[in-house]
Amino acid sequence: MSNLKLGIVMSVIRKSFRGKPLLRNEVQEAILHVWREGLRGGKLSRTNMLFSFARDPAVFLAVPFLVAAIAHKLDEEVIIGLYEGLKAIGFYKEEGLTADIPNAVFAVGTGGKEISTINVSTASAFVAASCGGRVVRSGTRRFFGLSGASDFLAAHQITPINELDLIKPMIERVGLALVDGDAFSPMMGKSLLPIVRTSSSLKNLVAAISHPIRHAVTLLQPDGIGCAFRGISLPITRHVAEALMSYRRIVRGLVVFSEDNQGRVFDELSNFGPTQISEVSANGISTYTLWPQDVGLSLAKVSDIEVSDPRCGHQLVLDILKGKRPETDPVVQLLALNSGALLYSGNSAQTIQEGVQRSLTAIGAGAPGLLMDSYRKYYADVLQRTR
């Protein structure tokens, strides 16, 4: 990497450490130069990284400082710069839908959850759809956690959507579209899987370094969908909400973050403690704290919702969706809480509490389990009609 190009990276580092604001174009250029001149656009495999280090060690010495600088100033401008930089590389692609989908909410998370649970996001999407919500949920296989969306769907014999033009017919038929994250982020799996399949130490290092950068995914939003739900792994909900409102023109949505009393991150609404929420509405952005008791739920312990075995977690979800667990079950209440927030985000409930109560009623009747069966059938029908 030439001194001039390395200087672009160093400029971002110096400005951040001096407490000066970063501009989106500066962040974008720094990301592009590290990728193109350092890794030469290659996969992040162990072999490729060693060759890259031998070719230009200055890049690898600069990257951790660049990430620290970005994390130190992770505001609206930096989040937009990250997204634009990674999009230019090819990590994210934007393909609009053919028509608007009123009151649909696009849900995606940053990952980074440090408490092992079921896949809350995908399971709660089934619950919300069974209550009349309209949810487009995007997720990938697990990279750093217990269970990713693709892992959850594979366990229940559900094929994720890979073509965006199938979203609208699925929403119209069942109120739910489960999209393979690779449809929006084609390079994510190609870049991260080689690391996941090598050593645990390298995997943990990349997980730590990529932690702030993964917040670029919060700006992923298909055209035609005006509502958003984001679960994030840093307490910067307002900054993310500001970026969504200014960059994506989101008209309604929630950005949520929580953690336990040990500081372990939970990128969902929490029923074992407070959740920080930034809400986007016609009145602007409001930030507040929500406790489970505020919406009629019990305060649980972290141990009540922890699941260490993915297979047990998948079976637990199936039992809940089919109405085989009591309303007082902490995991049931966790799903109802996040489902209620999804309903509220998409204008399908007047309050989060109303959404929670409707979700508990649907779970008790086994409605999400029936919707899961319908989803498989309708997806097969939609595929056949569009081929």
Task: Report residues of the chain scoring pLDDT below 50.
Answer: 1-4, 143-147
Side-chain-facing half-sphere of 255: CA atoms under 13 Å: 26
Instruction: Output the pTM of the full model.
Output: 0.88
Give the 3-state secondary structure of residue 118.
Answer: coil
DSSP state of 161: B
Give the tens place of pLDDT for each residue, 293-344: 999 999 999 999 999 888 899 999 999 999 999 999 999 999 999 999 999 9
Give the 3-state secondary structure of residue 277.
Answer: strand
Q: Closest Cα partner for 230 from 182, 193, 267, 175?
A: 267
CB of 120 closer than 8 Å to CB of 89: no
Exposed (0-12), middle (13-18) or buried (19+): which is 21, by Cβ within 10 Å? exposed
Give the tens place of pLDDT for each residue, 162-191: 888 888 999 999 999 998 877 666 555 555
Give the 3-state secondary structure of residue 259.
Answer: strand
Interhelix angle 46-55/57-72, nearest 10 degrees: 110
